[in-house]
Amino acid sequence: MPRIALIHATPAAVEPIKAAFAEVWPEPDLVNLLDDSLSRDRAMSAGLSDNIYGRFDALGRYAVSLGADAILFSCSAFGPAIERVARSVAIPVLKPNEAMFAEALAIGGRIGMLATFEPSIASMRQEFEADAARAGARVDLDGVFVPDAMPALLAGKPDRHDTMIADAAAALSHCTAIMLAQFSMASAAPALRQRLPAIPVLTSPASAVTALKSRLERRA
């Protein structure tokens, strides 16, 4: 049974990734590591500080010390720090949106992205465009921020959170696919698919679990 370390910067990401594993790959032993000060500190910073890089390095080392066979980060605004962890450890490390981006690039065209944590948008756009360049894919990305959805979720109003995301998706009805930027947004996917049934809706937890399962099976 593989042990997977799940590293979170917000408690709102924990349940969506647990649900994705339960549906796609229930066998692994999951270990959740949460530092919710990371999201608060990132929201107050224009970029990634040396302190944040160091904290990610420490989380990566701790995951290895637990005997993890792989690390999956669920925090989408910290791409460069996650990449540094991946270079420093000998086990697979998956960025939260890496697999979802690959699915979107395979669809191509104009991709929409909804986000409930504003600092994610710039970093995810940079990662998406870099992935597109490496893949030789010709795509465009339209991002939409849903400002009140995350506060609603943290206030214990998940239905309100999902409805606001589905409402915001109307601005992306011209897209060939829509990505939900945060792990915590996965619960809104059914409502969004009802609103825009002809457009594929991609969620980072489902994509990530599928990709991680394939990666570890290839290493076995």
Per residue in 71-95, pLDDT tens? 999 988 898 999 999 999 999 999 9
Asked, colleague to colleague, whether 3-96+206-219 and 98-203 share their fold, the answer is yes
Query: HSE (CB half, 13 Å, CA atoms) of 200?
Result: 16
- For residue 92, which of 208, 8, 182, 203 has the smallest C-alpha distance? 208
pTM of this structure = 0.86
Average pLDDT, the chain: 94
Return the CATH fold of 98-203: Rossmann fold (3.40.50)
pLDDT of 45 above 80: yes
Measure CA 78 to chain center.
10
Share of the chain above pLDDT 70, in %: 100
CATH 3.40.50.1860 applies to domain 3-96+206-219:
yes
Query: Do 93 and 73 meet the contact criterion of CB atoms below 8 Å apart?
Result: yes
Helix (H) or strand (E) holding 102: helix 98-107
Instruction: Give the strand order in the sheet containing 139-145.
Output: 139-145, 109-115, 177-180, 201-203
> What whole-number distance in Å separates Cα of residue 178 and Cα of residue 199?
7
> What whole-number distance in Å separates Cα of residue 109 and Cα of residue 138?
7
pLDDT of the residue at 72: 97
Q: What Cα–Cα distance (Å) separates residue 125 from each residue in 7, 14, 36, 73, 131?
A: 22, 24, 23, 18, 10
Q: What is the pLDDT of residues 122-176, one digit of tens each?
A: 888 998 999 999 999 999 999 999 999 999 999 999 999 999 999 999 999 999 9
> What whole-number distance in Å separates Cα of residue 82 and Cα of residue 57?
8
Q: Where are the domains of the chain?
A: 3-96+206-219, 98-203
pLDDT of the residue at 22: 96
Query: HSE (CB half, 13 Å, CA atoms) of 13?
Result: 29
pLDDT of the residue at 44: 87
